[in-house]
Every structure is written in structure tokens, then in C-alpha cells.
Amino acid sequence: MDKIEQYLANQPTKLTDDSSRLRREIAYERLKDALQHADLEPGEVLSETRLSESLGISRTPVREALRQLAQEGLVNIIPGRAITVAVHSVQSILDVVHLRLLLEPELVRLTTGSLSSSELDRLIGAVRDMEVACEQGNQSAWSRADTRFHEILGEACPNQLLGEIVTQMRNRAHHLANIDSQTNPRRLRACTIEHREIIDSIVDRNDQAAAETTRLHLEKLRESLFSRLSYG
């Protein structure tokens, strides 16, 4: 059994709803979660048939979910040949971080002033979970909390298109960014502190400070990724 099948098999929920739309959406969410957190290697081959079996649904909603994930840069589909975990060049990864640097501070600035109390509580909870996971050395839990933090921000952004674009850009570099933080304990600790600084500014409703701490976080991510990509 491949890693992604093992990961999906360990998830307790099977898809049983009769709505093809809902089945496709849940298949998309389950597969995206696995692609981000199942420790898959770029270029790893995926089987549509085995994925549908692991999810307990037909191949059609799985195929539709994979097409959406391909549009977001998480998988590559070679018609008639193979489906693989996306492989991105060094330049494409750095291009993604560049776009995040241009867009994400503005997303955080806009969102800081419009967050509801429940959204703010969820963000605070995500950062606390990151801190606990960092202290415990639980890389999987840290990655999940990190993903949740950024998804909450993206969904809460008053400019919906900006939120969607930033989330998609983050997804494209998620695998390598995760490896960078999780294989470097010093970077993992630093990254956790950077998220604490961002959320502290958001809690204070200081949109300029929140944007600046986000920019500094992404600058450090770019430096760390560049070092890893350049020297292995």
C-alpha cells in the first residue's frame, strides 16, 4: 500500500453521501489534506483506482477532484499516462514565494480589521497548536496547525479573490516549505515564533504591524528555501 493510501485508510470517515457534488468536494478536501500531510515525494505516482477504493467512492468524483488539484498545482496529470505528485522547479518555487511576498502581507492587512471574534479565536488556537507541536517535536501536528492558520486567513479575507490566490500559491510550495521547517529544528522554532508575532499584531488589530510581520516571515522563508534549493 502506498503512503497516500495508508494515510487515507487511517482517516475514519468514508464517503457515503448520494450527492455527486458533495462527494467530489469531500474527495477534494481529503486528497488535498493527504497531498499536504502524507509525506509524499514530488513525482510519486498516484492511482485513481486505488484512491477511489481508499476513499470508498467511484472514480468519477476522484477524477474531478484530481483535476481541481492539478489546476492548483498539487498534482500533475499526463493524459493517458500517469497522475503524479507535482514537481516544481527551483525557479517556480521561488516565484511562488515572490508572489506570496507581494500579496500575503496585503491579505493579512485587510483581514486584520475584519476578523470576527470566532475567526480570531480559531487563529489563536492554530498558533497555540503550532507552539505545542513544536515543543513536542510533532511535525505532522505542526504542519496541520500551520495549514489551518493560513486557510483561516484566506477564507476570512474580505477580498475573496485575493484569499483564493494566496491559498493556491501557498499550496504550490507547501511540500518543500514543510520539509524546510520540519527537517530543521531551528527553523521550525523560528517559524513558530514568527507566527506568534503575526497573531499578536492581529489580536492588537494593528493591520500595518500584522502586514510587516507577515512580510518578514516570508522573507525568512525565502532565504531558507533559497539556501536549501541552492545547496541541497
Residue 208: closest CA among 133, 115, 105, 114: 105
Confidence category of residue 180, pLDDT binned at 50, 70, 90: low
Confidence category of residue 170, pLDDT binned at 50, 70, 90: confident
Contacts of 35 (CB under 8 A, 6+ apart): 4, 69, 74, 75, 85, 175
* β-sheet bridge partners, residue 75: 85
Confidence category of residue 14, pLDDT binned at 50, 70, 90: very low
Higher-confidence residue: 49 or 92? 49
- The stretch 6-30 carries a mean pLDDT of 70
Least confident of 93-97, 118-122, 124-128, 198-202: 93-97
Handedness of CA 70, 73, 74, 76 (dihedral sign): positive
Contacts of 214 (CB under 8 A, 6+ apart): 104, 105, 108, 198
Question: Do residues 81 and 126 lie in contact, with contact meaning Cβ atoms separated by under 8 Å?
Answer: no
Q: What is the pLDDT of residue 164?
A: 92
Q: What is the pLDDT of residue 11?
A: 67
Rg (CA), the chain: 18
User: What's the predicted TM-score (pTM) here?
Assistant: 0.76
CA-CA distance, 205 to 207, in Å (whole number)?
Answer: 6
Mean pLDDT for all residues in the chain? 86
Long-range contacts of 45-49 (CB under 8 A, 24+ apart): 45/82, 45/83, 45/84, 46/2, 46/4, 46/75, 46/83, 46/84, 46/85, 47/2, 47/83, 48/83
Q: What is the pLDDT of residue 222?
A: 87
Which residue's C-alpha cell is 450527492?
A: 19
